[in-house]
Structure 1
């Protein structure tokens, strides 16, 4: 979700669900050590609970990045061992780390020693010609021995040779049964599943006890981004058992002060509204909402009046 789940996206998603754990886009440890830390790590307090997702393969660098990030007050630090992009491979981190579980163990041990909060891992079931049934349990055993108790497993292989990142999200077949089998094999671990989940009903089935479920959590990425209301609006009531479903118009009203502050600080409207295109997905007038936002947000001086104009197609279709 690099370049997608920035702080504006997360603030918007938090208006839809108060309890869902939100993750940052992946930030590399060297970037935190040598780059613009405030721009990389700042977030609104309303985003809690929120996890910082780190990329890296050097234990000392990762530990120092964790020490720096501690001042920002994240609720979790996650090491990404699942991203298949070329630039991640070239840095020897992301999914390629599935080939080096001992190094991952060293990394997380260093991170845990430096972290004031829980350190978790996101991984794949394997890469390239690895046999997932052999690789995944060995990976979980090795990394958990270093102190990690919570893993999110993307239930697809990553083909580092021959597939681009988009293809790696769709072409390798999903293997939910393997991830569920890992929960049976490692009952002491907190295991969440990722990959291909497109609805709350699917998430509920994977969380429910039974032959096709019993997992501890479900991570939903692109479906939650493109159809945020459909995925997140009822998450609190259906998954966490608290609160009423969110209302899209109330969510929009909650975003107005945030947008106003961003504009007053010199920000651009599209930096926030690009994440809100799917708010009314599936409702009459939703296409008009998206069209107006897409066409008018970049005009000089664009402000909250663009939101009002984008609502007109929805009101007309109601």
Structure 2
């Protein structure tokens, strides 16, 4: 079977994935998410090809084997450089290499990568072809439905067709335009309207492509509805970060049909403690991990006390697992009240 085939671990896991999010989905965040769901596909933050190839920043590829299935997202627009970065990612052990054609940040535009590449589908195809030739793991693309004054119904099918012709079989479509001229990156995550109908139409138009939808998904029920409607996968972003237990604890059962009991926030915390202790022993700080754990009890009694205790104490010198125990005690007291 071709090495860019969809018959691999990341393909199966992509029924539900957690979006690559800058400054959020680092290795500690991914380790936490893996304690909540065995099956959900996790993505790195975007790593730029120049940082790896020209800057030698291969430490950006570090991850724990327990994070699998995990995919590396790359940013760039030079085919040869992306091919070399993809080789580094595959050698590091990632099960998928994803090209960012969706990020609207100013940094990204100045480097001619991210969402601005929606205007250059042939270049994206060339980049993907070079990456596919370089590695033995799937190369995928995360894109928008269009940018600026483009007409999504016209440009998106053309984009998919051109990039698919280069060998890409899996796309994640953020169902919003990116307005690079006039909106900030934060505004681009909220203001452009969602067009799920167009994404579903693309699945009808390209039945052989594996298409996942991204943008505005805030519950497993919503994700399940997209899958039942015929889409191949659903990517959840901010909701999975701010409410990780709400999104991920039941994911293995609801999305993947697993028979094991749902996980719990309390169980995830217990599973994180050896990881936290190893991180501290290696000279790390507690808040580097606990900043990703603040939303574990979102929507439950004690959530505020949990957040406050960790936010106020985890950055202090010497802070360790006893702070987590104290925060958990406040959660237990709130739930018993």
**TM category, shorter:** over 0.9
Measure how far apart 1:39 and its partner are: 2.2
Q: TM-score, normalised by structure 1?
A: 0.98
CA distance in 1, matches of 2:72, 2:153: 29
Aligned length: 314
Residue matched to 2:117: 97
CA distance in 2, matches of 1:110, 1:56: 12
CA distance in 2, matches of 1:184, 1:223: 28
Residue matched to 1:256: 273
CA distance in 2, matches of 1:203, 1:253: 28
- Which residues in structure 2 correspond to 1:230-269 (within 5 Å)? 230-242=246-258, 243-269=260-286
SS at match of 2:150: coil
Which of the residues 188, 208, 211 maps onto 1:168? 188
Measure how far apart 1:204 and its partner are: 0.5
Residue matched to 1:315: 332
* Pair 1:224-2:254 in alignment: no
CA distance in 2, matches of 1:81, 1:149: 15
Which of the residues 294, 308, 313 maps onto 1:291? 308
* Pair 1:280-2:300 in alignment: no
CA distance in 2, matches of 1:312, 1:300: 22
For the aligned residue pairs, the C-alpha RMSD in angstroms reads 0.8
Tell me if structure 1 keeps the 8 A contact 2:72–2:97: yes
CA distance in 2, matches of 1:284, 1:150: 40
Residue matched to 1:178: 198
CA distance in 2, matches of 1:9, 1:39: 16
SS at match of 1:155: strand
Measure how far apart 1:108 and its partner are: 0.1
SS at match of 1:157: strand
Q: Gaps (5+ residues) in structure 1?
A: none
Measure how far apart 1:122 and its partner are: 0.3
Measure how far apart 1:299 and its partner are: 1.4
CA distance in 2, matches of 1:70, 1:82: 22
Q: TM-score, normalised by structure 2?
A: 0.92
Higher mean Cα deviation, 244-253 or 122-131?
244-253
Residue matched to 2:165: 145
- Residues 12-37 of structure 1, C-alpha deviations (whole Å, 9 max, x = no match): 00000000000000000001113353
SS at match of 1:92: coil
Tell me if structure 1 keeps the 8 A contact 2:90–2:97: no
Q: Gaps (5+ residues) in structure 2?
A: 1-20
CA distance in 2, matches of 1:297, 1:35: 32
